[in-house]
Structure 1
Amino acid sequence: MKKIILICVVALSFFACKSSATAADSDTLSTKLDKSSQVAIKGNWILTDVSYPGSDYIKVNSFDIADSKCFIGSTWSFISNNNKGNMSLNAAGCTSFQSPIVWSINNQGLFVLKILNEGEKSKNVKSGYLLTVANQTENSFQLIDQINVGGQTKSVTYQFQRSN
């Protein structure tokens, strides 16, 4: 019985992947913006937690960059007047990564994120990520992504805290 459970857990870990519904295209990126939500996110933030069902058994490759746990402790900067910023991953035991980003929050409450290569213009990046903004306060907010795990949709929650 233990072998069957272990095999199922290992199989599920191979099938945890990004849902195609979360890929943002240029039509979604042109939606009107929610300026008040964007202004509230302006500033420097630390991603303090990543949670999802089965996180002890399933690895999630967040934003096609690294294991989701490598994002804990990452720093994010959001500039609301030009929708630019940057992100930096420096978790111990993980590969360091930093990148400029372009972001916005549309009127449907979706956080639109483009991760850029150094020197790349956002207009040349035709895809990105759509996440739901939740529980937004002055000092914290969540971004929720939907992934496919073994044919089922699961929520990955990224918890942000304002940095000083």
Structure 2
Amino acid sequence: MKRILVIAAILCSSLMVLQSCSSTKSTTASASLRRGAVTGNWVLNDITFEGVPAANVRSLFNEASYKCFIGSTWRLTNSGNGSYTLPGTADCPTRTQDIFWSVSTADETFQFKKLNEGDKAKNIADGYRLVLASTSGDQLILKSPVEYGSAPANIVLNFTKASK
């Protein structure tokens, strides 16, 4: 009996040592990438480019020139429904596009599908996947990977939280 207690004590001690030595994943990154960190109303203030000249970017989200998106407002509800509205300029008409969006903590991305009247998100196969580069309070930075040459390139979307 004494031998069994000693073995049990050694096993428990070993488990505690192994538990304390195992690596732990940081939960702050995935916690900040929850849907709630992105939910709200956002204004796309600036678009920059990494590894691709701006002159080579013809359109954004197969819709219009990237310039038409500057100043656009994005409404992202907690249910996943949302929309973006292009502000309208001489070259770009005002337009609102309904979307269905989600956040993937597994690969740290923001995804959305464009919805037309009568569409259901589950029936839409095409969509857009952007890298969640930063989500901090009133700032949101999304990167849209693009093909340009042999090096990685991104269109960087810089949002600020809209005041209510």
Q: Runs of 5+ in structure 1 lacking a partner?
A: 1-32
SS at match of 2:36: helix
Q: Which residue of 2 aligns with 1:46?
A: 43
- Letter of the structure 2 residue corresponding to residue 148 of structure 1: E
What RMSD, in angstroms, separates the aligned Cα atoms of the two structures?
A: 2.0
Counterpart residue number, 1:125: 124
Q: Aligned partners of 2:153 and 2:140: how far apart in 1? A: 19
Distance change >3 Å, CA 149–CA 91, structure 1 → 2: farther
- The equivalent residue for 1:137 is 136
Aligned to 1:58: 56
Q: Cα distance, 1:58 vs. partner?
A: 2.2
| Aligned-partner Cα distance in 1 for 2:35–2:61 | 21
The TM-score with structure 1 as length reference comes to: 0.72
Q: Which runs of 5+ in 2 are unaligned?
A: 1-29
Structure 2 counterpart of 1:105, one-letter code:
V
Larger CA Rg, structure 1 vs 2: 2
TM-score (norm 2): 0.72
Distance 1:55 1:96 in 2: 26
The 3-state SS of whatever aligns with 1:123 is helix
Distance 2:157 2:42 in 1: 12
**Distance change >3 Å, CA 119–CA 103, structure 1 → 2:** same
Identity of aligned residues (%): 29
Counterpart for residue 87 of structure 2: 90
Deviating beyond 2 angstroms after TM superposition, the runs of 4 or more aligned structure 1 residues are: 33-37, 53-60, 149-153
Which has the bigger relative contact order, CA under 8 A and spacing at least 6? 1
Counterpart position of 2:76: 78
2:32–2:135 Cα contact (<8 Å) kept = no
